[in-house]
């Protein structure tokens, strides 16, 4: 009956399997703590169920249900095409503007939605945090994963548009998962910082809409990154979403020029943000139940 | 090899007062940082700064040490704020202790609330798996016990209905059933049994007894002395964050009742989710401050509402420490089917009991708010205590354990 697979040590101090199986030691943690990623693995079923809950519940009691996943990026594309493409005549690197915008809106919406849900997740789940123990990391991760379903649905429209415009993807299309991972990692790394901060400072909740709006304009969604002067391009990569969006366009729409140095900078930024976020989250974790 | 299941060694938990109530905002931090140098300057006289410190902190638990052997059922009792819940939270690793350590041998399952993580939009079946996962059960474990859990909860017919359509009884039964079927060695249970109707409570107590008989170790927090006496093999009495008595259930319960007849003064209750504040609960007492049996009893709630609130049930309950279960309970929606509409501003709501025919003694008044069939916003069976004392109705009512109620009746003698 003792499922030894469940390593439930607070500090990772496994004392040893005794007659009764698992031994847990609870004591105050001090200083820098380990990330305990193995524990996260033990709780993968919970991550699965929470992700599944977020997916199931998202469009309950909506009249058109999952169609929302398509409508949001689709109408954003229509608006962008009218105002930026037709009226402002923003260049689109020779790609038809609607698909140019839609291809960028897909990862963007995945990112902004995941960022928003993830940042509010700890506060939204305070009932769980104050009543049950599990690795808290699961909470901001679950909504990010759930967002992938919306992405998948909206992606079908992109395939339709590619057929319509007769765009044949090159072999670069196989790099899409990498850019997807980069988008998810960006959302998650910012989400980790903000969700933990939001527990203590509710100001965060009000800054998120502002932040995502600001970020949208700093990302080449409505315009190509080629508008940015060559010498500034690498600096532009400090916004990881620039790398993601340009990567998507390159992989799917066959833009001749790959994202290059911009992408390298983006990846570095995400790695730093992500690891920093993990440690910050872990450090704050122990006070969540008391403060939230 | 040891037969110790839990060893608690000098556990302490420090809270900074106000930490829970007031969310810090960045603005506060900024102003604090700006003023910090000045404050530091002011506090250079050491006595002053020390004073400030001791006022700002509170030890919810201090120097708590005890041992629990495998198979023991421990009742943890004490007044509100004695540190019981903090202790359970530390044991279930929801919060960290500030000092000391705890060594636990075996898998721990904790049940601090019935139905944690239940989502009203999901069906009974879906919630069952979700809740199981939250409590740390494996999917295979839930699947194996699925039929048993559903049978225990008596919701076979509705298992594929969203739980928002459940009655609160069904909801509670399902939620408890999941937790009760955890396959673990050590179970930590908070006052979950106080929720729900008497049939449900009996059923849960029965299940808890089964669990205890199977040799599991149980830590059980309750205000229900009758339940503690029935279930527990040993008791621990907490007061102001320290253990004052640790011994046989009988001894501990008696010393709690003797020294700690819980005089609960009413404190305003804030329910943030609904934007309500229960500012006052008043009973019609006589000049000496006691409630008179055989007279009407009115329970008046003064509720301040931040905006209009509908779709809620208000509930009052009467309990007595020495008697198992709730003596009287009435919910506006479920008992009387009244749709309460609270208007923005002050509301006065009265429950009028036409004849309060309980015998004299010390009673507790409970109060609860629910969204019928969805969730409890607030549930506390003891928001204030009161004395009932008859003045002229004869001796029998004062006899202990003789009769709890007086039921309206008469004798007919035919010769």
CA distance A26 to A206: 36
A57 Cβ under 8 Å from any chain B Cβ: yes
A30 Cβ under 8 Å from any chain B Cβ: no
Distance from the B162 Cα atom to the nearest Cα atom in chain A, whole angstroms: 11
Return left, alpha or beta for B414; rule: phi > 0 is left, psi -120 to 50 is alpha, else beta: beta
Note whether B96 contacts A49, CB cutoff 8 Å.
no
Cβ neighbours of residue A182 closer than 8 Å, sequence gap 6 or more: A240, A243, A244, A247, A266, A267, A270
Domain shared by A142 and A248, yes or no: yes
User: Phi then psi for B358, rounded to 5 degrees?
Assistant: -100, 150
| Rg of chain A, C-alpha, whole Å | 21
Domain shared by A117 and A142, yes or no: yes
Are B88 and B101 in contact by the 8 Å Cβ rule? The answer is no
Domain shared by A5 and A87, yes or no: no
Nearest by CB to B103, from A23, A48, A203: name it. A23
CA distance A170 to A112: 28
Furthest C-alpha separation in chain B = 95
Domain shared by A5 and A128, yes or no: no
CATH class as words, domain B67-259: alpha beta
**pLDDT confidence of residue A1:** 37
User: Phi then psi for B303, rounded to 5 degrees?
Assistant: -115, 130
Is pLDDT of A179 > 90? yes
**pLDDT confidence of residue B189:** 85
Note whether B96 contacts A29, CB cutoff 8 Å.
yes
Nearest to A101, CA basis, from A79, A131, A70, A127: A79
Paired strand residues for B318: B328, B365
Nearest to A288, CA basis, from B63, B19, B80: B19
State the helix-helix crossing angle for B124-134 and B168-180, rounded to 10 degrees. Answer: 40
Joined together, the tokens standing for residue B186 give 């050590």
Task: For residue A33, name the pLDDT band (cuts at 50, 70, 90).
Answer: low
**pLDDT confidence of residue B198:** 63
Note whether A132 contacts B15, CB cutoff 8 Å.
no
- Residues carrying CATH 2.70.50.60, chain B: 269-398
A168 Cβ under 8 Å from any chain B Cβ: no
In degrees, to the nearest 5, what angle opens at C-alpha A189 toward C-alphas A183 and A194? Answer: 125
A203 Cβ under 8 Å from any chain B Cβ: yes
Note whether A289 contacts B89, CB cutoff 8 Å.
yes
Domain that holds residue A18: 1-30
Are B69 and A5 in contact by the 8 Å Cβ rule? The answer is no
Are B303 and B271 in contact by the 8 Å Cβ rule? The answer is no
Note whether B185 contacts A291, CB cutoff 8 Å.
no
Counting every residue written for chain A, the total comes to: 292
- Look up tokens 């909860």; give the residue: B153
Average pLDDT over residues B180-184: 80
Average pLDDT over residues A74-91: 91
Return left, alpha or beta for B286; rule: phi > 0 is left, psi -120 to 50 is alpha, else beta: beta
**pLDDT confidence of residue A101:** 93
Q: What residues of B are in contact with residue A43 (Cβ under 8 Å)? A: 136
Nearest to B203, CA basis, from B333, B316, B114: B114
CA distance B204 to B152: 10
Domain shared by A106 and A16, yes or no: no
Q: pLDDT by residue (tens digit) across B355-386?
A: 888 776 778 899 999 887 777 888 888 888 88
Task: For residue A82, name the pLDDT band (cuts at 50, 70, 90).
Answer: very high
Average pLDDT over residues A11-31: 60
Domain shared by A94 and A13, yes or no: no
**pLDDT confidence of residue B24:** 57
Are A24 and B6 in contact by the 8 Å Cβ rule? The answer is no
Cβ neighbours of residue A135 closer than 8 Å, sequence gap 6 or more: A36, A39, A40, A43
**pLDDT confidence of residue B26:** 65
Note whether B117 contacts A132, CB cutoff 8 Å.
yes
Nearest by CB to B93, from A10, A57, A290: name it. A10
Is pLDDT of A36 > 80? no
Lowest mean pLDDT among B79-83, B133-137, B333-337: B79-83
Q: What is the 3 state secondary structure string of B110-171?
A: EECCCCCCCCCCCEHHHHHHHHHHHCCCCHHHHHHHHHHHHHHHCCHHHCCCEHHHCCHHHH
A10 Cβ under 8 Å from any chain B Cβ: yes
Distance from the B121 Cα atom to the nearest Cα atom in chain A, whole angstroms: 7
Lowest mean pLDDT among A13-17, A170-174, B133-137, B184-188: A13-17
Prediction pTM value: 0.71
Note whether A202 contacts B25, CB cutoff 8 Å.
yes
Cβ neighbours of residue B281 closer than 8 Å, sequence gap 6 or more: B266, B299, B300, B301, B302, B365, B367, B383, B384
Q: Structurally, how many domains does chain A consist of? A: 2
A130 Cβ under 8 Å from any chain B Cβ: yes
Give the three-class secondary structure for B358. strand
Joined together, the tokens standing for residue B188 give 């930590």
Q: pLDDT by residue (tens digit) across B80-91?
A: 778 888 899 899
Is pLDDT of B411 > 90? no
Note whether A202 contacts B113, CB cutoff 8 Å.
no
Burial track B214-229 (b if 16+ CB lie within 10 A, e otherwise):
eebbbbbbbbbbbbbb
**A264 CB-side CA count, 13 A:** 5
Domain shared by A26 and A143, yes or no: no
User: Phi then psi for B184, rounded to 5 degrees?
Assistant: -140, 165
Q: pLDDT by residue (tens digit) across B267-311?
A: 888 888 888 899 989 888 776 667 777 778 899 999 999 899 888
Return left, alpha or beta for B109; rule: phi > 0 is left, psi -120 to 50 is alpha, else beta: beta
CA distance A275 to B361: 62
Task: For residue B21, name the pLDDT band (cuts at 50, 70, 90).
Answer: very low
Domain shared by A219 and A282, yes or no: yes
Residues A256-264: contacts with CB under 8 Å, at least 24 apart: A257/A226, A258/A172, A259/A225, A260/A233, A261/A233, A261/A234, A261/A237, A262/A225, A262/A233, A262/A234, A262/A236, A262/A237, A263/A237, A264/A237
A66 Cβ under 8 Å from any chain B Cβ: no
Domain shared by A8 and A137, yes or no: no
CATH of B269-398, one of 3.40.50.2300, 1.10.150.20, 2.70.50.60, 3.90.1150.10: 2.70.50.60
| Burial bucket for residue B299 (CB in 10 Å: 0-12, 13-18, 19+) | buried
Domain shared by A273 and A144, yes or no: yes
Q: pLDDT by residue (tens digit) across B190-217?
A: 876 656 566 777 777 788 788 778 888 8
Rounded to 10 degrees, the C-alpha dihedral B15/B21/B23/B24 comes to -50
Are A22 and B106 in contact by the 8 Å Cβ rule? The answer is yes
Joined together, the tokens standing for residue A56 give 């199931």
**A51 CB-side CA count, 13 A:** 18
A133 Cβ under 8 Å from any chain B Cβ: yes
Distance from the A284 Cα atom to the nearest Cα atom in chain B, whole angstroms: 12
DSSP state of A227: G
Task: For residue A140, name the pLDDT band (cuts at 50, 70, 90).
Answer: very high
CA distance B350 to B317: 13
Paired strand residues for B12: B99
- Residues carrying CATH 3.40.50.300, chain B: 67-259
DSSP state of B336: T
Give the three-class secondary structure for A280. helix
Domain shared by A54 and A165, yes or no: yes
Name the strand (E) or helix (H) holding B175: helix B168-180
């Amino acid at each position: 009956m003792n499922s030894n697979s469940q390593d439930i040590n607070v500090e990772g101090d496994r004392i040893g399997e005794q007659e009764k199986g698992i031994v847990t030691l609870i004591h105050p943690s001090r200083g820098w703590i380990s990330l305990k990623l193995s524990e996260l693995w033990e709780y993968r079923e919970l991550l699965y169920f929470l992700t599944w809950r977020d997916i199931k519940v998202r469009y309950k009691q909506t009249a058109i249900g999952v169609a929302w996943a398509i409508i949001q990026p689709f109408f954003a594309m229509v608006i962008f095409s009218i105002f930026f493409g037709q009226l402002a005549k923003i260049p689109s690197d020779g790609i038809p503007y609607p698909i140019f915008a839609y291809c960028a809106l897909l990862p963007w919406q995945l990112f902004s939605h995941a960022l928003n849900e993830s940042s509010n997740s700890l506060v939204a789940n305070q009932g769980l945090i104050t009543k049950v123990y599990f690795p808290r990391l699961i909470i901001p991760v679950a909504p990010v994963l759930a967002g992938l379903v919306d992405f998948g649905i909206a992606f079908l429209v992109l395939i339709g548009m590619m057929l319509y415009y007769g765009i044949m993807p090159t072999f670069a299309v196989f790099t899409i998962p990498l850019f997807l991972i980069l988008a998810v990692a960006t959302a998650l790394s910012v989400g980790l910082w903000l969700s933990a901060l939001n527990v203590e400072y509710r100001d965060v909740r009000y800054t998120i809409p502002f932040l995502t709006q600001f970020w949208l304009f700093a990302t080449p969604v409505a315009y190509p990154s080629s508008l940015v002067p060559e010498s500034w391009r690498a600096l532009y990569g400090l916004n990881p979403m620039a790398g993601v969006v340009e990567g998507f366009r390159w992989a799917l729409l066959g833009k001749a020029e790959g994202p290059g140095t911009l992408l390298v900078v983006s990846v570095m930024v995400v790695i730093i943000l992500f690891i920093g976020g993990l440690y910050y989250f872990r450090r704050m974790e122990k006070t969540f139940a008391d403060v939230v | 090899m040891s037969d110790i299941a839990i060893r608690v060694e000098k556990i302490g938990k420090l809270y900074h007062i106000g930490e829970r109530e007031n969310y810090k905002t960045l603005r506060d931090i900024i102003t604090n940082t700006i003023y910090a140098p000045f404050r530091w300057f002011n506090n250079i006289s050491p006595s002053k700064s020390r004073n400030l410190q001791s006022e700002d902190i509170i030890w919810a638990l201090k120097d708590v040490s005890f041992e629990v052997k495998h198979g023991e059922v421990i009742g943890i009792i004490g007044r509100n704020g004695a540190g019981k819940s903090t202790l359970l939270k530390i044991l279930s690793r929801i919060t960290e202790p500030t000092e000391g350590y705890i060594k636990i041998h075996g898998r721990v399952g904790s049940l601090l609330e019935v139905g944690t993580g239940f989502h009203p939009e999901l069906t009974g079946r879906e919630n069952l798996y979700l809740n199981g996962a939250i409590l740390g059960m494996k999917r295979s474990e839930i699947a194996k016990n699925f039929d048993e859990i559903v049978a225990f909860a008596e919701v076979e017919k509705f298992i594929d209905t969203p739980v928002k359509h459940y009655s609160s009884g069904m909801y509670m039964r399902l939620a408890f059933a999941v937790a009760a079927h955890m396959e673990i060695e050590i179970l930590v249970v908070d006052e979950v049994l106080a929720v729900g109707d008497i049939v449900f409570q009996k059923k849960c107590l029965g299940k808890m007894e089964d669990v205890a008989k199977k040799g599991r170790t149980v830590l059980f927090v309750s205000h229900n002395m009758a339940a503690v006496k029935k279930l527990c093999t040993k008791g621990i009495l907490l007061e102001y964050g320290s253990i004052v008595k640790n011994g046989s259930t009988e001894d501990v319960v008696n010393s709690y009742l003797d020294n700690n007849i819980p005089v609960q003064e009413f404190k305003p209750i804030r329910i943030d989710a609904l934007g309500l504040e229960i500012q006052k609960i008043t009973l019609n007492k006589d000049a000496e401050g006691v409630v008179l049996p055989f007279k009407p009893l009115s329970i008046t709630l003064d509720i301040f509402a931040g905006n209009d609130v509908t779709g809620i049930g208000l509930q009052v309950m009467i309990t007595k420490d020495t008697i198992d279960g709730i003596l009287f309970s009435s919910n506006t929606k479920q008992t009387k089917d009244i749709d309460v509409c609270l208007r923005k501003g002050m509301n006065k709501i009265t429950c009028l009991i036409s004849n309060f025919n309980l015998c004299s003694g010390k009673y507790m008044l409970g109060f609860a708010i629910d969204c019928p069939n969805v969730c409890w916003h607030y549930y506390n069976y003891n928001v204030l205590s009161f004395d009932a004392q008859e003045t002229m109705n004869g001796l029998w009512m004062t006899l202990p354990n003789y009769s709890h109620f007086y039921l309206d009746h008469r004798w007919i003698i035919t010769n």
